[in-house]
């Protein structure tokens, strides 16, 4: 008998390219924390990151997570597997990897949250696209309203630099220390903020998952003839509405604008994605630049933390708190370009990245990688 094999839904190069592109924006936002730079220290460099990148690229990454879930479900349906069981295993694996990542490499990990909130998405996966869109809008509205109310309750009216210098210095010292001290500090931050993060994620990340779920069920990105005509309109709306609000927040740090920013940031993100999609269809070579990193996104994402740990923490050169913002951004850009090149070379010879291989073993089981016999026995 021929052993059953998992039938995969063909990958979409556009999705991989968008994912790889988002990893670059996420890295440029995370690098300040990785380098031990006070995010409230101000300056032109941090202002540019806040206006252009902050709260933009994780939106795209989360949307693609929801879209990918629908493709995993389709793959399970084709080979008769249990889509829910596979997704459950994958989410639990992401949570475990996320905790290890947060404690030993980077406190700003998203994998744990994606795994935990992904379990909620799994429960909501039977929703039809229209219902998923309505629920996403409802959750977004709750999040924006909550931020607006909280901002009005603040005694001050500006975001301004409000970090505790002693706490910032303690964090920098921990980053420069060895494994034990750094891990203890990261665990303290992770465990102390995980419940708040999950609560925030329910009204901020889950809606993005739902948008991706609705788009995936409608197969929006699988037919260029459907989405290419609407991309210019998305650009006009995103850059026309999302960009001004983002710039205003970065320039004024006016706290009551955080609610509107929650609603408009996805519009700017959509404009970024629409721009890249139009460029890729006009110049297919651009797809080949970003898609390999997106194909091994988990490996690329965790690789950023490993590389910066060697540079900034006591694991390596202990440069935390000793470089400028511009230098940190330059380091992130160089490392990202190196990752793009390395990913392109890797996927030429390997089907999966190391982390992706581990996730697939957990999701599908070791038998997924066994080759079927060359002959069929009657």
Q: pLDDT tens for residues 119-173?
A: 999 999 999 999 999 999 999 999 888 888 877 776 444 444 445 667 778 888 8
C-alpha–C-alpha distance, residues 331 and 194, integer Å: 29
The answer to whether 320 and 312 have CB atoms below 8 angstroms apart is yes
Are 121 and 69 spatial neighbours (Cβ–Cβ below 8 Å)? yes
Q: Which residues of the chain have pLDDT under 70?
A: 1-10, 154-165, 366-378
- Going by the DSSP 8-state scheme, the letter that residue 125 receives in this structure is T
Which pLDDT belongs to residue 240? 96
Measured distance CA(121)–CA(309) in Å, rounded:
32
Residues 6+ apart with CB under 8 A from 244: none
Q: Give the model's pLDDT for residue 374.
A: 40
Predicted pLDDT at 16? 95
> Which pLDDT does position 99 carry in this prediction?
96
pLDDT at position 257 is: 82
The model scores a pTM over 0.95:
no
All structural domains of the chain with their residue ranges: 13-369
- Say what the pLDDT of residue 378 is: 31
Could you tell me the two tokens for 295?
């194909």
pLDDT of residue 369: 54
């Amino acid at each position: 008998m021929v052993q059953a094999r998992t039938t995969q839904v063909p990958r979409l190069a556009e999705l991989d390219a968008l994912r790889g592109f988002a990893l670059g924006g996420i890295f440029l936002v995370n690098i300040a924390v990785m380098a031990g730079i006070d995010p409230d220290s101000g300056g032109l460099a941090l202002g540019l990151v806040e206006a252009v990148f902050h709260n933009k690229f994780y939106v795209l990454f989360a949307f693609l997570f929801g879209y990918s879930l629908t493709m995993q479900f389709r793959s399970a349906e084709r080979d008769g597997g249990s889509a829910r069981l596979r997704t459950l295993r994958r989410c639990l694996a992401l949570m475990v990897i996320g905790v290890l990542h947060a404690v030993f490499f980077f406190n700003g990990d998203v994998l744990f949250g994606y795994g935990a909130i992904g379990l909620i998405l799994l429960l909501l996966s039977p929703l039809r696209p229209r219902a998923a869109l309505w629920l996403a809008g409802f959750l977004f509205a709750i999040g924006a309203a909550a931020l607006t109310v909280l901002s009005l309750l603040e005694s001050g009216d500006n975001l301004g630099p409000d970090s505790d210098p002693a706490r910032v210095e303690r964090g920098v010292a921990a980053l420069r220390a060895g494994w034990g001290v750094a891990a203890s500090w990261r665990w303290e931050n992770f465990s102390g903020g995980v419940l708040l993060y999950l609560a925030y994620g329910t009204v901020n990340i889950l809606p993005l998952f739902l948008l991706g779920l609705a788009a995936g069920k409608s197969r929006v990105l699988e037919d260029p003839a459907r989405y290419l005509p609407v991309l210019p309109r998305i650009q006009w709306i995103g850059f026309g509405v999302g960009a001004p609000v983002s710039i205003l927040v970065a320039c004024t740090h006016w706290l009551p604008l955080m609610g509107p920013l929650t609603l408009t940031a996805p519009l700017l993100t959509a404009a970024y994605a629409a721009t890249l999609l139009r460029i890729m269809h006009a110049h297919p070579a651009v797809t080949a630049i970003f898609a390999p990193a997106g194909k091994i996104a988990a490996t690329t994402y965790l690789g950023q933390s490993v590389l910066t740990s060697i540079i900034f923490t006591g694991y390596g050169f202990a440069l935390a708190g000793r470089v400028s913002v511009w230098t940190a951004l330059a380091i992130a850009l160089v490392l990202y370009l190196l990752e793009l090149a390395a990913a392109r070379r890797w996927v030429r010879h390997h089907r999966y990245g190391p982390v992706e291989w581990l996730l697939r073993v957990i999701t599908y089981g070791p038998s997924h990688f066994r080759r079927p016999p060359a002959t069929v026995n009657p």
